[in-house]
Structure 1
Amino acid sequence: MGTVNLERAGNPLSLKGELLRFVFEVYRSTGGAYPALEWVDEKPSPDDFEGFRRVYGPFLEFRLGKEFDELYILRRDGEIAGTVALVYELEGRDVWWVPEEIKNEKTGLIEFFMVHPFYRGRGYGSKLLDFAVERLLSLGKTPHVVTFPHLDAYGYYLKRGFEKVMDYGGFVVLRKA
C-alpha cells in the first residue's frame, strides 16, 4: 500500500521547487482550471511547465514565505500526494481576495488544498480537509474557504458540510457549518 505521512512544513520556502512541480501536475490535470491564475492575461498552456513556472513561481514564493501560517504536506512513499495550508492571522496581511467581513480573529482559511491527480479517489482529500478543519477548530477558528463557483472543489466542499456565506467578486466564500 505504501507509507502515507502528513507532515507540517517547517521551512515551506525550501519546498518551492517540489511544490511548483506538484501544483503544475494539478494545473495540467484540470486543463488549466486550477490554480485559476485569474490575475494573468494569457495563461500558460497546461503543457508548458516553464510558462507556468514564470507566472506561478513568484506567487507561490509569496504564499510560502508570507501568506501561509501553516503548511501541511501529505506524502506517499516520499512523493507529494496532497497539500493544505492554513491562514488565520489575517489582520495586516495583503489578502485582497478575502472579504473584509470575515477578516477577523475568529476566521481560519483553508488554502492550497490539492491532491495530485495520480492519488485522487483514495481518500487523501478527505484526510487533508478533515485535518485542516480540526486544526482550525483547535485554534478557536471558524473554517472558511474562498474558491471559485465553477470549480469541482466547490461542490466537494458543499458535500463535506460547508455552506455558502457570500459571493465576493468572482469568488464564493464558504464556511464549515
Structure 2
Amino acid sequence: MLIREARPEDRPFIEEIARLTWDGEDYLARVFDEWLGDNFYVLELDGRVIGTAKLTVLPGKVGWLEGLRVHPEYRGRGYGRLLHDFLLELGERLAEEGKIGALKFATYFLNRGSVSMAQKTGFHVKAKFFVFGAKTEGFQPEKPEKIEPELSDLTLGLIPVGWRFVGRSEEALEWIRENAHFYDFNGFRFLVSKKGATFTPLDVGLATLKAMLPAIAWVAEERGRESFDVMLPSGIKPLLPGLRRLGLTLWDETEEPNVLVFRKRLV
C-alpha cells in the first residue's frame, strides 16, 4: 500500500472512481489534468489506485481538503481515514513552513463518514449553507452579462465558489477572478466556478433570486447541463417555502442547512 502523488497514467483509475461516485456526476475526472502536480495524491494498493486526496492552498493561508475518494469496492476498510490523516500530516508540514494557518473542507451533512472523521480529528463547524438543485427546463433562460468583479461585489462574508469557500478579501477577489465567472443580470449578480454548475447568488432575497434564476439557467444550459445547483447561506432558512415555489429543491428535503464547512486551526 502506498500514498503517492498522482501521475498522468492514473487517469483510467480516477475515471473509474468518478464514474462510480455520485451516480457518475463526480467532478474528479474533469479536474484531473488541472490537479496534477498540485498536492494531488492517490492511494495505490497492489498496483491499483483505489483512493484519492487533494490539498489546495486558498486565499488567507487556508489548506482546503477536497477530492477524498475511495473506490466503492474498498470502502469501509479504513482507507478514507488513512487518506484523511495523510492530508492532516501534509497540512501540519505546510503550516510549519508558514504556507497555511488552518485546514478547511466542506461536506454534505449526510456524509457521516466525513463528519465523524472531522469531529475526531479536531475540526469544528465554521459555517453552514443550503445547496439546492433545479432543472434548466423549469426556466425560460435569459442571457446575463459576464463582468469583472470588484471587492464591493463580494457581499457575503464567506463566499462559495463551487464547493470551495473563501473569505472576503482582495486576495480572494483575485483568486475568484482566476477560478470563477461572474455575471450581472439586471443589476443582480452571481458567480460560478469555471468548470462547475453550482452557482452562488450575491443577493439572496426571493425577488432577486426569482430574477436571477433564468440567467443562471442560461449559463448552465450553455455548459451543456440539464440541471444546476444553487448555494445559499444558512440565513435563508425562513425563505425555504418561497424558494421551493421558485423551482428549487433541497437534496433529501431537509429543513436544516445541508452543507457543513469545517475548520481546524493549525497555528
Q: TM-score range by the shorter chain?
A: 0.5 to 0.7
Cα pair 2:39 2:54 within 8 Å, conserved: yes
The alignment yields a C-alpha RMSD, in angstroms, of: 2.3
Aligned AA for 1:175? R
Which residue number in structure 1 is paired with residue 104 of structure 2?
144
1:86 corresponds to 2:55: yes
1:174 corresponds to 2:255: no
Please give the TM-score of this superposition, normalised by the length of structure 2. Answer: 0.44
Cα pair 1:164 1:174 within 8 Å, conserved: yes
Which residue number in structure 2 is paired with residue 111 of structure 1?
66
Which residue number in structure 2 is paired with residue 19 of structure 1?
14
Which residue number in structure 1 is paired with residue 79 of structure 2?
124
Structure 1 segment 9-88 matched on structure 2, within 5 A: 9-11=6-8, 14-25=9-20, 27=21, 32=22, 46=23, 52=24, 56=26, 59-66=27-34, 69-88=38-57
Report how far residue 173 of structure 1 moved: 1.0
Cα pair 1:137 1:143 within 8 Å, conserved: no
Corresponding pairs, count: 131
Query: Sequence identity, in percent?
Result: 27
- Stretches of structure 2 lacking an aligned partner (at least 5 in a row): 132-258
Report how far residue 133 of structure 1 moved: 0.9
- Stretches of structure 1 lacking an aligned partner (at least 5 in a row): 33-45, 47-51, 91-102
Greater CA radius of gyration, 1 or 2? Answer: 2
Please give the TM-score of this superposition, normalised by the length of structure 1. Answer: 0.63
